[in-house]
Amino acid sequence: MTDEPGGYDCHRDHGPYAGVAAFLGRIAADRPRLASRHRTELHAIAPRLDSTARPAAEEEPIRFHPARRTAYLAYGAAEFVAVWADRLRRPVTVRFTHVGSADETTRELLDALTRRLGPSPVSLDLHDSGPRRAATAAPTLETMRTALGDSLARGFYHHAARTARRGRAAVTPDGDLRHWWAFTTGLATTLAALDRPTEALDLYHEARAVTDNPKITMSAAYATAMLYARHLPAADQDPAQARHWLEKALHLAAGLDDPRQRVLSTVFYEQGLALLDSREGDPASALRLIDDGLARLAAVLAPGERPQDLARLCHNRAQVHLALGDPAQALTDLDTVIAQDPDNCEYYVDRAALHRAAGRPRAAIRDYDTAIRLGPHLPEAFYNRAMLQQERGRAERTRDDLERVLTIDPRHLDARIALVNLHVRRNAFDQAETDARAGLVLAPQEPALLCTLGLIRSERGSLAEADRLFSQALAGDPELVEAWTNRAAIRFERGDVPAALADLDQAVALSAAPVPRYNRGTALTRLGRWEEAARDFTHALTQPDVDRSLRRDLRVELARCRRAMSR
């Protein structure tokens, strides 16, 4: 592979993935078969590699990408480079310049490469200086608007924010209101995506202060409503304010001159009202709004026109049908959504959840498989598939999927907990303890990990440490039955039967499961309280999920109680 003269220029002025996209392109050119297996991430990072692809802004996605998507793309790109590196016959040094001035996407990918490659035939030579690529002509306002739209559609929000700020600095609302508003609302959208909704709210207040243009104030009203409904911190969300601004947007939409646009805008804004109605416990009203909206869209749209808008409403209706307790109709709607937008991996995850809830694990796994194929580094798809594999007794497949989740997203706490528990069930205590402690580095007070680590330490005879860990877990989650039960076992083993019994009282109060009852009955027999113990053993035997071994032990203990009571 021939390196770029002077290195790959990563300066942010050249856009998202500057430098690294060219590097990946060189590898793709040398290894087309390998590149075909990583088409999703390569298309997202270096779209010029696919001559048939449309610009992202023209693909009309139903919803914007989450900000975390770039981390998953970086993982996939690093895997692509690592496979290429493993096949090299001689060492290669790749030089990247202006790394300190790189876009966040570039730095994220370089970090992923550094972690993944480690000691290998490829070394990364990272510099903050170096020759700059020739500067292009100063961008026009239209060029900046196009770049902003493309970055928003691709989920490159930091670059989108810089572009929007640059555009706002070049115009004023008095001089060029159309462009000023495009950059302002674009910046607000990026800030909301980056979890900075308060700043986005300020921009919409600014827009209302500088213009009374009805189309702008209408759009600003709707966006403000969604900030109050969805994006602001939970403590600051305000359904009443959201409804106020939605009604303002609808009032302005009713005054639009174009009857077709009046219908489109009204239907779109009413989806916000449907969201609020559903959240406020009135899904029937939400359903009426959505059904009415679909009927009105059908009246003004030609066959096959604006399929994404129809899909958006069908997706909303699926959520409402779930709220109404009608998963079959929700599934029908999701089938329609996927037919309209078949390449969106997240909708297969949504549909798989319905299949799983309905007891169709094979259909659910097929949908997770498709989600993973379309979005190969989506942690939730791997995690949910792992849980299904676990339910079906496929321990190795479960472990593989959970390990993949943690490779992509080391902070995925549910996957960490599930993997630790899987190791415990396999009696792989060394690995379980290593993974539990790794998780506690990221979440030091996580009750489930503290509880499992306590169980591991108790298995190794460290009873005092185990007791302390169970107590820490209960301080974080007083309703964690496993911690009450396991701490009781420790205290029972150490001879403190009254303390064990107190813990088991808590466990039994929280859970109808047979094990806490069995354990409490055992503690009661130690204290000679035979009648109470017999009641616990009898109650446990009536539960539907008693396995054969436990059922045998319960019968033995119940017979012992009866003998003691008959003496």
What's 209's domain CATH number?
A: 1.25.40.10
Predicted local confidence at residue 383, as pLDDT: 97
Buried b or exposed e, range 486-503, using 16+ CB within 10 angstroms: bbbbbbbeeeebebbbeb
Domain count, the chain: 4
Give the chain's mean pLDDT. 92
Same domain for 501 and 528? no
Q: Considering the domain boundaries, does residue 270 fall inside one?
A: no
**Per-residue pLDDT averaged across 194-223, rounded?**
97
Q: Which residue has the higher pLDDT, 4 or 206?
A: 206
Residue 401 CB contacts under 8 Å (≥ 6 apart), including other chains: 382, 383, 385, 386, 389
Percent of the chain whose pLDDT exceeds 90: 85
pLDDT band at 525 (very low <50, low <70, confident <90, very high): very high
The beta strand positions in 263-397, using DSSP E, are none
Q: What is the C-alpha separation between 102 and 87, in angstroms, rounded?
A: 29
Q: Domain check: are 102 and 15 in the same one?
A: yes
421 is a domain residue: no
**Of 76, 101, 126, which residue is a domain's last?**
126
pLDDT of residue 379: 93
Is the separation of the CB atoms in 416 and 424 below 8 Å? no
Rounded CA separation 44/202 (Å): 31
**Domain assignment present for 101:** yes
The most distant pair of C-alpha atoms in the chain lies apart, rounded to whole Å, by: 100
First to last CA, the chain: 89
Residue 2: pLDDT band by 50, 70, 90 thresholds? Answer: very low
Per-residue pLDDT of 118-169, as tens digits, reads: 888 999 999 998 777 766 678 899 999 999 999 999 999 999 999 999 999 9
Split at pLDDT 50, 70, 90, the class of 546 is confident
Confidence of residue 3 (pLDDT cuts 50, 70, 90): low
Sign of CA dihedral 415, 421, 422, 423: positive
**Given pLDDT bands bounded at 50, 70 and 90, which one contains residue 295?**
very high
**Predicted TM-score (pTM) above 0.75:** yes
Per-residue pLDDT band at 4 (split at 50, 70, 90): low
Q: Are 190 and 154 in contact (CB under 8 A)?
A: no
Average pLDDT on 57-86 reads 84
- The verdict on residue 269 lying in a domain is no
Residue with tokens 């189309």: 215
Cα torsion for 28, 31, 32, 35, to the nearest 10°?
-60
Same domain, 207 and 227: yes
pLDDT band at 309 (very low <50, low <70, confident <90, very high): confident
Average pLDDT over residues 256-271: 95
CA 378 to chain centre: 8
Which residue segment(s) compose the domain that 70 sits in?
A: 8-126
At which of 472, 493, 511 does a domain end? 511
Give the whole-number percent of the chain exceeding pLDDT 70.
96
Domain membership of residue 402 (yes or no) is no
User: 557 and 533, same structural domain?
Assistant: yes
pLDDT at residue 545, as a whole number? 79
Domain membership flag for residue 370: no
In a domain, 230, yes or no: yes
Structural domain contains residue 25: yes
Do 506 and 521 sit in the same domain of this protein? no
Residue that terminates a domain, selected from 98, 126, 154: 126
Is the per-residue pLDDT at 62 higher than 60?
no
Tokens of 149: 């739209």
Does residue 18 share a domain with residue 115?
yes
18 lies in the same domain as 68: yes
Query: 535 and 501 share a domain?
Result: no
Same structural domain for residues 491 and 545?
Answer: no
Same domain, 160 and 231: yes
Per-residue pLDDT of 461-509, as tens digits, reads 999 999 999 999 999 999 999 999 999 999 999 999 999 999 999 999 9
| Residue range 410-419: mean pLDDT, rounded | 94
Give the list of residues 6+ apart from residue 277 with CB closer than 8 angstroms, or none: 283, 285, 286, 289
**SS3 state of residue 8:** strand
Q: What is the pLDDT of residue 65?
A: 87
Q: What pLDDT is attached to residue 376?
A: 79
Q: Are residues 12 and 122 in the same domain?
A: yes
Coil, helix or strand at residue 9:
strand
Q: What is the mean pLDDT of residues 178-202?
A: 97
Radius of gyration of the chain (CA): 29
Quick one: 68 and 99 in the same domain?
yes
Distance (Å, whole) CA 416 – CA 68: 19
